[in-house]
Amino acid sequence: MSATLPLDIAQYKQIVIMTGAGISVASGLPTYRGVGGLWETVDVASHATAAAMSEDPGKVWAFFSSVRRQIAQAQPNLGHLAIAHAEHRLRSDQSLTVLTQNVDGLHSLAGSTRVVELHGSLRQSRCTRCDFARDEDLASSPNGCPTCPSCAAPLRPAVTLFDEALPVDAVSGRWNVRHRVACLQFRARGRVRRSEDDLHQPRTDDATQSSFSRSHPRARRGGLAKFASRFVIGAAHQSVEVAL
């Protein structure tokens, strides 16, 4: 097991915390790939892919409506709250950004103000054709797929499905990384990993922005790892104990 080392956040001007489904387990939400995860109970290809959305939007909407009702019962846990608390304790020359794969919105609900939701949020829906978008009441999300009030096309959850490109805003992230940063990753088993290095500003050309897509759940390397490697250049990883 890796040695546990303290991390003094005060020495960093920019802190990036990366989270996935594991941080929301304590809020009562299942993971996706783990034991008892969502992808063990449904067929991904017919419920959560770009092709499924095109072929049967009603089935995709109904599946995510059931997930929305689970999220409606969840509250931020101590992990979410600790991250938000750490942000609000920073000096004026520091910032803390949460980079998350989660679509439950619990980081924002906990009070974090700089949250990049790589896979979107189930708290919003958008039109499959036009620019219409709306907030959703998670507890009363209908099973039947609603239509857009502007153009009558089916609505869809505002999340990144498998085989879809990540949102350009999430990939570019409006990053302005010029200082040494602390990059923390919260993993499903509760361990925190740190990547410590100088970060380079990402390119903003169209080819770069369109090259990140959500991979199939059986892929060996997930979207967060691919995304993080774009910014963390040659970083060494080690387990750390973070006093938030």
51: its two tokens:
């092709």
Cα end-to-end distance, the chain, whole Å: 22
User: How, if at all, do strands 5-6 and 236-241 pair?
Assistant: parallel
Considering the candidates 47, 80, 107, 119, report the single residue annotated as catalytic.
119
132: its two tokens:
């219409």
What sign results for the dihedral spanned by CA atoms 24, 76, 191, 161?
A: positive
DSSP, residue by residue, 7-30: --GGG-SEEEEEE-GGGGGGGT--
Q: Is residue 61 classed as helix, strand or coil in its secondary structure?
A: helix
Task: Check if 47 is active-site.
Answer: no
Q: Is residue 186 classed as helix, strand or coil in its secondary structure?
A: strand
7: left (phi over 0), alpha (psi -120 to 50) or beta: beta
Distance between CA 40 and CA 35 in Å, rounded? Answer: 8
- Strand 133-135: give its sheet, edge to edge: 133-135, 120-127, 155-159
Distance between CA 165 and CA 215 in Å, rounded? Answer: 9
DSSP 8-state secondary structure symbol assigned to residue 220: S
Active site residues: 119
